[in-house]
Structure formats: C-alpha cells, structure tokens
Amino acid sequence: MKILVFGSNGLVGSAVKRNLTNQHEGMNLLFSTREDTNLFSFNETKRTIESFGPNVIINAAAKVGGILANNTHRTSFIMDNLKINLNILESCIDNSDIKIINLGSSCIYPLNAPNPIKEDSFMNGKLEPTNSPYAMAKLSAIELGSAMSLEFGHKIVNLMPTNLYGPNDNFSPLDSHVIPGLISRMNKAKDANLKEFEIWGSGKPLREFLYVDDLADAIDFIIKKDINDSLINIGSGEEISILNLAEKIKNILNFEGSLVFNNDIPDGNPRKLLDSSLINSYGWSPTTDLDTGLDNTFNWYLQNS
C-alpha cells in the first residue's frame, strides 16, 4: 500500500506521520508539505498525486485558526480551504481507485444541532456565524466528494473531528485554537508575574477535546479496517467548560493569578459535543484523557517554543 499525506507538517499531519511511521515500517509513505507541493496549484497537486500513485490519500492540509482568526480573516479562510480541497479532489477524478480520507471539522454542523451531534445533522440548519466561511469550505469538499462517489465510484471518507490539540499545534496568542492559545498566553502571563489572566468570552461554553494522536490512531484504524462510511465523527465523548479548562491549564502551569473574562469577544456555539457512536461501533475509542493530553501538550510547548 502507498499512502500520501498532504499537510504533513501541521497538527494533524504530523500526528499522522508519527503514527504511520511507527505502525507501518516498510510501507511506501509520502509526507507532502508546501515545500514540495503548492496545493493552491492544480498542476502541482495533480503532478504529486500522479507521480507517487497512492492507494490512499489523507488530506490533512488546511488553513486553520481559533474563533478570533476565523471571525477576522473570513475571506482567506473560505478561499484558501476551497482551493486546497478542490485541487486535491479534482486531481483524483480520473482515478477512482484512490481512497481519500478527508479531514473536516465539527464546525460543519448547524448551530442548533441537538447534542450529542450525529452525522445526520449534516446540512440540517444554519451554521455558527463566527466560523461559517471555514465551515462552508469544508461542506463544499464533502459535497464534491459525494458527487464524485456517486458519479465516478470514488471511496471518500470525510472525518469530522472535535476540537483538536496536541504537539505541533499553533500556539499563536491571537490566531490559535483555545487550548494552545490558553497555554501560550497564560505562560507569558506567568513569566510576567501578572496578577490576572484574561479569558476570551464568558468561559461558559462547553467543548469536547480530542488529543491529536488519538485522531491519527483513528485514521490508521479506518485504513486497516477498510471503513468507507462517507461521514464519520471522531470525538472523545467528554466535554468541559472553557472556565474549567482554563483552571486545569492554570494548575498545570502553576499560574497564581486570577482568571477574568472578556465578554466583548464572542463565545461561539454554547455547546458542541459529537456523537461518535459510529466509529465506536467499529471498535475504536480514544486512549488519551484530557489531563494527560494537556500535560503532553504543555511539555511539547516548553521544549519547542
């Protein structure tokens, strides 16, 4: 088997690289980055795919960010992700033997979808407005993949992971997701001996988090078991408020200041818990609890920041 991974330097791609390298010694693997392939170019994307001739493509390439980045850079979030997904999928139209595992996001689901959110909530309501451009790009990729499957017989598995975190995440103070953002900003507050730390929003929203190496394990599981459902949720099944999450991180960092809230920054969806019973029914479940994952992530941050 030959597996091609796009976006192998990112959070998900680097975890997939660790997993596949450890689990499949001797397998023909290509870990593509922007150094070898400009995914905004159809010709470069198609050339990489045709020259390697993969049996499986894992699309982990994306422009990603937290709520502030999504809500601020709305145009680039939809345009960049549309280009990436369109070029990869269009490059595969003539070869339906390639199985494509496409990484989406739980933000594709409607704002008012019942929790836990099932796969059949797909395209069933209005999106949460702060990240709707990113969600629309992911929805378009799913719809294009569905069209290719129906018209040409492609096997395209769209994975909808919950909020991810872990090694090699983006720890930018402004453009990151919640966990790396809290870690980097709170660590700077600790180093500066600040008495207060500001949390964006009210701290009340409930979120589900998944350690990225567990997602990589789920991808490997899907390849080994030859699972071909078109849409699969991947979550931990546990949720926590942003306030309680911040308190956990505060304890890990030994930050002694108090937590305050900035209600001028939107909370986003008040609750978002995935129903992962489909992937669980095949025999997969995550193995990394939140406390362990946060410890691992903070240690990686200290060693690499």
Give the residue numbers marked as catalytic: 134
Cα–Cα distance, 287 to 213 (Å, whole number): 9
Write the DSSP string, 55-66: SEEEE-------
Of residues 134, 141, 144, the one with CA closest to residue 159: 141
Buried/exposed code over 22-51 (b: 16+ C-beta within 10 A; e: otherwise):
eeeeeeebbbbbeeebebeeeeebbebbee
Cα–Cα distance, 173 to 252 (Å, whole number): 18
Residues 6+ apart with CB under 8 A from 70: 77, 130, 131, 133, 134
Phi, psi for 234 (deg, rounded to 5): -130, 105
Structural tokens at position 163: 């909020």
Cα→Cα distances 165→64, 69, 73, 261, Å: 12, 16, 21, 22
Q: In sequence order, what are the beta bridge partners of 259?
A: 197
Q: In sequence order, what are the beta bridge partners of 261?
A: 199
- ∠ CA 293-282-104, nearest 5°, is 60
Asked if 204 and 164 touch (Cβ cutoff 8 Å), the reply is: no
